[in-house]
């Protein structure tokens, strides 16, 4: 069953965020992860958006999302991520 994670981010340091953003794709590939979309928040149609940027990444399954997050490659760039942005990552399983 396919899985996704949605990342919501508020940028703190644009240079560090760019460094992180450039490194993420190489960490996704070994786990079958691929960006579906990423971009700046537009208009909050209902409720509020407390972040500036969002991304949706697709994986083959939840196990792959977890393995990616725990991987040495991704763990190595978390300090750069945390310097660059406040981030929330939430995974979702999508029924077939």
CATH of domain 3-42+50-93: 3.30.70.100
Residue-level length of the chain: 96
The tens digit of pLDDT for each residue in 8-18 reads: 999 999 999 99
Between the two ends of the chain, the Cα-to-Cα distance in Å is 6
Starting at the earlier edge strand, list the strands of the sheet with 3-11.
Answer: 34-40, 53-59, 3-11, 85-93
The tens digit of pLDDT for each residue in 59-82 reads: 999 999 999 999 999 999 999 999
Tokens standing for residue 16 = 């560090």
In whole angstroms, give the CA distance from residue 96 to residue 82: 34
**pTM, rounded to two decimals:** 0.90
């Amino acid at each position: 069953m396919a899985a996704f994670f949605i990342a919501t981010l508020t940028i703190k340091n644009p240079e560090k965020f760019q460094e992180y953003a450039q490194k993420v794709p190489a960490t996704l590939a070994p786990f079958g992860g691929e960006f579906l979309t990423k971009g700046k928040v537009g208009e909050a149609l209902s409720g509020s958006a407390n972040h500036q940027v969002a991304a949706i990444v697709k994986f083959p399954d939840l196990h792959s999302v977890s393995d990616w997050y725990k991987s040495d490659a991704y763990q190595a760039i978390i300090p750069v991520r945390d310097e660059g942005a406040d981030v929330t990552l939430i995974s979702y399983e999508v029924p077939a």
